[in-house]
Amino acid sequence: MNSIIKACASDDPNAQRELVTLYYVYASKICRLYGKSEEECDEMINDGFLKVLNNIHKYDYSKAFKGWMRAIFINSCIDYYRKYYQKNNVVSLELIHDVEVNTDIISTLSAEELMSLVTRLPDSCRIVFILYVIDGYKHHEIGELLGIQEGTSKSNLRDARIKLKKLIFNEYGEHTFIPYSKKVDHD
């Protein structure tokens, strides 16, 4: 792999094609989390690979290439979100009674089923949910990445969870929920 990376740093088009071929599926999975449509995902993938190839000379060979590339793709997806959605995207706060999802039902959902529901969340909720739950960012980091307050990140995550619970309820029915008894915050 190091020889491909070095060749890419020297602008070798064959090496660049090989790198894209090797990591296209991996990059697609990252971008599919953040994009709402095939067109958006394709643009995020293209932007991400362009950034990888333009910055490959900065890659530290002592670190995992896949992790370095993942960070670039996540940032590329966030840049796309900032460019097209953030200014016009306001999440309406709904007055909903909190409910807790029955964990037996959640454990039967495949990752694909759950992610298909996540992609239906409003953009600001979806991005924060993915960054926090899937990518492991903290609220202050999400705030810095998205240019929002830490409290806004927490609020968007809460809204995402509520909306996701409603989606699961609508998709899988009443038996998926039990009354919510107390508020639990993991942050």
Fold category of 2-84 in CATH:
Rna Polymerase Sigma Factor; Chain: A (1.10.1740)
What's the CATH class of domain 90-179? Answer: mainly alpha
At 184 the pLDDT is 44
24-72 pLDDT tens trace: 999 998 888 888 788 888 999 999 999 999 999 999 899 899 989 988 8
Please report which confidence band the pLDDT of residue 179 belongs to, taking 50, 70 and 90 as the band edges. very low
| Domain spans of the chain, in order of start | 2-84, 90-179
Overall average pLDDT of the 153-160 stretch: 90
Strands 177-179 and 99-101: antiparallel
pLDDT, tens digit (0-9, with 9 covering 90-100), for 63-75: 899 989 988 888 8
The model's pTM is 0.59
